[in-house]
Structure 1
Amino acid sequence: MADKRQLVLDAFNNKPTERVPVGFWFHYTKDELKSAYDLPEMREQNLAGHKKFYEGFKPDFVKLMSDGYFFEPKTAAFLRSAKSAKDLYGLQPIATDDPWLKDQVSLVKELTSAFGKEVVTLYNIFAPATAFKWSVEGGDKKLAALIKEDKDAVIYALGVIAQNTQILAKAVIKEGGADGIYLSVQSIQDASVGPDTYAEVVSPAEISILTAANSVGGVNVLHVCGYEGAKNNLSIFKNYPAKAINFASVVEGISLKNGKEIFKGKAVIGGFANIKDGVLYSGTKEEVQAETKRLLAEAGKTGIILGADCTIPRDIDFERLEWVREAAK
C-alpha cells in the first residue's frame, strides 16, 4: 500500500489512487477565538490535541490548527481603534521577528517533527479580510461600510495584513516543516460587497498569500468557509492559485462534482456536513457509510478527498471517521 503522504499528494494532483483519502479536523482548545497571549495554556492544549488525534485516528493528512494565534494582537487592536476608513492608513506591518510569527513557526515545527514524515501537514491561516472582520465590532457589516467609505484605505489595510501573513506562510513551510498552508477565505456577508468589489478590494491580498506560499514550494489548500451557514460565491475564488479546494458543499448546496467543475478540475475536499445534526456526527454506521458511497458514486474517485464543510465537533468519536475511510476503500 502506498504511504499516506504519496496518497494525498497524488489525490491533490488528480492522479489515480488506490483509495480515496479522508481528512477531518477540529479545534483543540476550549475557545479557539481567544489568544494564547492572554491564555498561555492554549498552546499546550493545541499541541496535545493534535498528538491525541494523530495517535487515535492516524489521519491521511493533518490540518495543523492555529488555535490561540488566529489574529495578530497589535493589528487587531489597531483595527478596533480605527474611527474611520482614513485611519486605516496608519496600520503598519509587524517586525519580521515578531513573537506572533516566531511562536507559530515553533508550534508548527513541533508538530511536523512528531508526524510530518508520515503525513502531509497543512497550517491553518486566515485571510486578511477574515482577520479584519473578526477583529472589529460589527464584523462583516463594519468592513462593508469601510469599503463603501474609502475602498482604497481598506485595500491598504488588507495589504499590510497580507504582508504579515505572507511572512508567516513562507516561514511555516521553510522553517516549520509544513507541506503547505490551508488558507481560509469567505465572501463578505453583506450584499453591498458583490463579486466585482470583492475581486478589486479583497482578492489581491488573498492571492498574494497563496502566491507567497507557492514560491517556497507549498502544497496549498484554499478553504472557502461556510462557518455558521455563511454563503459564498464560489466563482470569486475559481482562479486562486491553490492546489486543492475545501468548500462547504452542504451549506452551499453544491456537490463535490459541481465544485470540481467550478474550480476547473482541481482536487476538492469535503462532502459531509460538520454540524451535530449531520449524518457524520449523528448517523448510524450504515448511514455514514451509505453517504460515503453516495458521494463517491456522484463525484468519482479522482481528485476527491472526503472531509467536511469545516471543523467538526470536538467530541466526535474517532470511530465515525474510520467508518468513512473504511467505506471509501
Structure 2
Amino acid sequence: MTQSKKELVLAAMDNKPVDRVPCGFWFHFLDDEIHSDSFQHPELMEKVFEGQTRYIDTAKPDFVKIMTDGFFPYENETAMNLKTADDFKKIKPLADDDKWFTQQIAYAKRLTERYGDELAMFFNVFCAGTTVKFMQADISKSEEFLANAVKENPQAVRQGLDVISHDLAKLAKRLITEGGVTGIYFSLQSLLGVSPETYKEVLEPGEKEILAAANSVSDYNILHICGYAGHHNDLTLYKDYDVKTINWAVVVEGIPIPEGRKIFGNRAALGGFGNLDSELLYKGSKEEIQAETKRILAEAGRQGVILGADCTVPRDTEWQHFEWVREAAK
C-alpha cells in the first residue's frame, strides 16, 4: 500500500524505507515577521492563517512547518527592555493561562484540525537566546548584546534564560498535547563570541529542557540549527541534543547531508538546498532544480532524508519549484 504523506515523513524521520523521499519548504507571510505582534494585533494572525492555508491547499506540501510570524515576541513584562546582564534576574514566568500560551495553542489547533490527519505538522519554536535577540529594537546589534551580557554575568543571564526556556518548554508540550501538532521545529543558533564551554553552561540547559518537554509527548521533533543570513554555527555543540531529525544549513556551513549525519549519529536529516534568492531553488529552471535534487539524493541516499532548504526561502519563490523537487525525488 502506498504511504500517505504523513506516513512518508514519519518513516523518513524514523530512518525507515520510504516509497519516495518527502520534501517541504516554507516562507514568511508578514513583511516584518520579527517585530509584528499578533498578541496585540490579532488581525496579523488572520493574515498568516490565510497565507498558510492558501499555501497548503494550493502547493500541497508533504508536511507543514507552521509559521509563527507575529508570535515572535515573548509577551512578558518582566522580560521587556533588557539592557544589562543584571536585568535577566528580573524575569519571572508567565501564568499558564497567559495569552502567550493560549493564542499560540489555539492557532495551532485551527490548523491541525484542518490538516493534521493527513499531514505531519511542526510548530516553530525558538530557543530562549533567539527569543531575547528578537526582543531587541535593533536586531543587527542583538547578537552582540546577548554575547556581551553572557560574558559580563553568565549566572544572571542563565537565570533569565532558564525562566524563558521553562515557559518555552511548557509551550512546546502544550502545542503537542492541546494544539495537536506532530512535534516542534526547534530553532537555535550558536552565539558568536561565546566559547563552547560558556554556551554549554548558560544556553544549553534551557534548550535541552525544551526538547525534553517536546520529546515527553512526541517522538517526532526537529532541531533547526539556523544559518539564516549566513550565520555560522558549531554543529558539534548539538550532537548530543535528543531529537529525531536535524535541519542545518548545508550550504552556509559547507557540510553536506552525509557529513552532517555522521556528526549526529546518522539521525534523519532535513535539508539539502540553499535558501537565498541567489541560489538554484529560487532562480533555477526545472531541469536545473531536478538535476540538483537527483544530485543531492545520489550523495545523501534515500533513507532518513527529507528534502528542504537551509532555512526559510524567499517569500516570492515560485511554488512550482517545490513541485519540481518532489517530482524528481520520486
Counterpart position of 1:59: 61
Whichever residue aligns with residue 239 of structure 1, its letter is D
Deviations 1:245-274 (A, max 9, x none): 011101111101111111111100011111
Gaps of 5+ in 2: none
CA distance in 1 between counterparts of 2:288 and 2:61 reads 21
Aligned residue identity for 1:120:
A
Report how far residue 89 of structure 1 moved.
1.2
Q: Name 1:70's counterpart in structure 2.
A: 72
> Using the alignment, how far apart are the partners of 1:68 and 1:86 within structure 2?
28
Distance 1:195 1:80 in 2: 27
What SS class does the counterpart of residue 181 from structure 1 fall into? strand
- Structure 1: which 4+ aligned runs deviate by more than 4 Å? none
SS in 1 for 2:269: strand
- Give the Å deviation of 1:81: 2.7
Which residue of 172, 176, 180 maps to 1:173?
176
> 1 CA distance for matches of 2:289 and 2:255?
19
Hey, what does 2:52 align to over in structure 1?
50
Cross-structure match for 1:104: 104
Give the C-alpha shift of residue 168 in structure 1.
0.7
Q: Where does residue 204 of structure 2 map in the other structure?
A: 203
Aligned to 2:313: 312
Larger displacement relative to structure 2 (129-138 or 193-202): 129-138
How far, CA to CA, are the matches of 1:322 and 1:102 in structure 2?
Answer: 35
Give matches, 1:113-262, under 5 Å. Answer: 113-136=113-136, 137=138, 138-189=141-192, 191=193, 193-262=194-263
State the one-letter code of the partner of 2:175: V
Where 2:187 maps in the other structure, the secondary structure is: strand
- Percent identity over the alignment is 46
Q: Is the contact made by 2:239 and 2:264 (CA closer than 8 Å) also made in structure 1? A: yes
TM-score of the superposed pair, with normalisation by structure 2: 0.96
Q: Find the counterpart in structure 1 of residue 281 from structure 2.
A: 280
TM-score (norm 1): 0.96
Deviates more, 1:251-260 or 1:28-37: 28-37
Give yes or no for contact 1:20–1:301 (8 Å, CA) kept in 2.
yes
Q: Tell me if structure 2 keeps the 8 A contact 1:173–1:218.
A: no
Answer whether contact 2:74 2:135 (CA < 8 A) is retained: no
Q: Extract unaligned runs of 5+ from structure 1.
A: none
Can you list the C-alpha shifts for 1:18-41, whole angstroms capped at 9, x where unaligned? 111101111122221111134332
Aligned residues: 325
CA distance in structure 2 between the aligned counterparts of 1:162 and 1:73, rounded to whole angstroms: 14
**Aligned-residue RMSD, C-alpha:** 1.2
Counterpart for residue 43 of structure 2: 41
